[in-house]
Chains A and B, each alone.
Chain A
Amino acid sequence: MRDVYIVGVGTTKFGELWDKSLRDLATEAGLKAITDAGIYSEDVNALYGANTSAGQFIDQEHIASLIADAAGLSELGIPSIRIEAGSASGGAALHEAYLAVASGKYDTVVVGGVEKMTDVPPEEANKIIGGSLDAEWETFFGVTEASLAAMIAKRLEYEGKIRREDYASIPVVSHRHGSMNETSHFRNAIKLEDVLKASYVAQPLTVFDSAPLSDGASAVVISANRTLINASENPVKILSSEISTDYLSLHDRSSIHSINAFKRSSKKALESAKITKEKVDILELHDSYSIVGLLQLMELYGEKEALDLVRNEELYWNKSRPTNTSGGLKAHGNPLGAVGIYQVVEAALQLRGKAGQRQVKGARYALLHNMGGIGATSVTTVLGVE
């Protein structure tokens, strides 16, 4: 396996982008990434596109060909492949692209993720998001993703393991970070009371416990081409990429509050990267709901340490365990197929020292977690700089 580096990144703003279509978004992110990498379309051997549900959001399948076409690559006829793994599509696409480059099949590849969610009404979007769950045995009966997250929170509180404030504080951190990120969907800071007092989505979760419906696209250029890597000012190395799956339905898992797939993917990813979790400077978690953000912290650090980090407010960019410096899914936005790729963009900016106001000083290692549904697919990526 060859060493693979991230040599270029690009993203659109995330949010309700009424004047932009899916193809506009994908093209914008892709062109920004190749410009950042200092390459031309001719240098790209293949495209890997992540997208969760364009078929339902905009009646468009065959996204791989569409994106290549929109990006002006049709004359070149390069391979283009769509990857779908629910909301973990971005992480899964990076995984596949990484394997293709590391294996020597391709030298330089663009990996993009895109979702256009606001062309349907919110209730329709809510239904489509449920597509990452079990259609026959969960959503058929009225389950929404939020309701599953809420039942996890309810059970954990009942068992006395956590308090409402513990997970309500996760969005507070995300919004603080999002306020410092110009591509964020939301740029306002919020208080704990805002989360607690907002209207319910599924009790005890409120709208502020939940990531929004966003449009957006992100792309990265990955390469094993030495000339390109050497020309890059600050190449970020992909140290590992690991995928694990679990039962699709929450009710089938050994425990509804263990994200077993993350336990497995993060363990393997840290082992493959040959680093310990203490070395991680930048942590991006899949905080689609506050409670699942907390669960991921608990899987990574253990229950006690995770709660200490939350209660002692150690997750901010200028504290000991910077988490979701991008603003996370909650504040930066949650365009399903794009989020896994945006996590890579954020990590690359941080590791290059180009994250501006929210820069984590001296950051060398990043661990990114992109999740499908509530942990039926888990992709952990570890990045680092020399």
Chain B
Amino acid sequence: MSDVPRFWRESNHRYRLVGTKCNNCGSIFFPPRDVCPKCRRESIGKMQELELSGYGEVYSYTIVHDGLEPFKFQVPYIMAMIKTDEGPLITGQIVDADPSEVKIGSRVRVTLRRIREEGKTGIIQYGYKFVLEK
């Protein structure tokens, strides 16, 4: 995770859930795809960007105790798979919640947070996380 362009080229997707829609079959994808896995060659030139609403519900979750180093200040942190209202399942953290508040089926909405930072001198990498919708 050490190069700026690699982070930068995903920023619209990670900042505000810009995915893709296949205009051949209507399927919506997040993360974005260059080709539709259902239509394959038929989808060439028919994949269009689409911004998700950011609302969904918890499909499953876990409380991570043995976490990755960049998240050491947040351990134990909640990782979840969110079933978005548009369909795609997104993997991300649920923040600002006590683990006991989170249930499968809980309504959530997207928020923007710091995900990682490249040491003390490098860039700050932002991206989506989710909060419980009250």
Q: Do chains A and B touch in the complex (CB under 8 A)?
A: yes
- Shortest C-beta distance, A254 to chain B (Å), equals 10
Among residues of A, the one whose C-beta sits closest to the C-beta of B91 is A251
Separation of A204 and B37 alpha carbons in the complex (Å): 33
A140:B116 contact, CB within 8 angstroms:
yes
Residue from the set B1, B91, B104, B115 with the largest chain A CB neighbour count within 10 Å: B91
Structural contact, A142 and B59, CB atoms closer than 8 A: no
| Cβ–Cβ contact B90 & A151, under 8 A | no
Q: How far is the CB of B20 from chain A (nearest CB, A)?
A: 13
B123 CB → nearest A CB, Å: 14
A139 surroundings in chain B (CB, below 8 A): 68
Q: Is the CB of B62 within 8 A of A127?
A: no
Stretch from A195-203, A348-356, A365-373 at the B interface = A195-203
| Main SS at interface, chain B | strand
Roughly how many angstroms separate A178 CA and B94 CA in the complex, as a whole number? Answer: 38
| Interface contact A155-B60, CB-CB below 8 Å | yes
Q: Does B63 contact A (CB under 8 A)?
A: yes
Name the residue on B nearest A154 (C-beta).
B60
* Interface size class of chain A, counting residues whose CB lies under 8 Å from the partner chain: 35 or more
In the complex the two chains form, is A201's CB within 8 Å of B66's CB? Answer: yes
Complex interface bits, B53-65 against A, C-beta within 8 A gives 1, otherwise 0: 0000001111111
> Cβ of B60 and Cβ of A138 under 8 Å apart?
no
A126-137 vs B, Cβ < 8 Å mask (1 yes, 0 no): 110010000011
Tell me whether A147 and B62 are in contact in the complex, defined as CB-CB below 8 angstroms, given that A141-B127, A142-B93, A256-B81 are known contacts: yes
- A200 and B65 form a contact (CB under 8 A): yes
Q: How far is the CA of A141 from the CA of B37 in the complex (A)?
A: 24
Is A158 engaged at the interface, CB distance under 8 Å to the other chain? yes
Q: Which of A140, A141, A150 touches B62 (beta carbons < 8 Å)?
A: A150
Instruction: Name the A residues within 8 Å of B91 (CB-CB).
Output: 137-138, 141, 143, 249-251
Separation of A362 and B27 alpha carbons in the complex (Å): 52
> Using a CB-CB cutoff of 8 Å, which residues 11-47 of chain B contact chain A?
31, 37
- Using A130-B68, A140-B1, A141-B92 as known contacts, say yes or no to A251 and B63 having CB atoms under 8 A apart: no
Q: How far is the CB of A36 from chain B (nearest CB, A)?
A: 38
Complex Cα distance, B37 from A227, in Å, reads 48
Residue in chain A with minimal CB distance to B113: A141
Instruction: Write out, one digit per residue, whether chain A residues 143-171 have a CB within 8 A of any chain B CB (1) or not (0).
Output: 11011001110110010000000000000
Q: Are B66 and A144 within 8 A (Cβ)?
A: yes
In the complex, residue of chain B having the shortest beta-carbon distance to the beta carbon of A247? B37
Residues of B within 8 A of A158 (CB): 60, 104
Give the Cβ gap from B81 to chain A, nearest Cβ, in Å.
6
Beta-carbon contact of B67 and A142 below 8 Å: yes
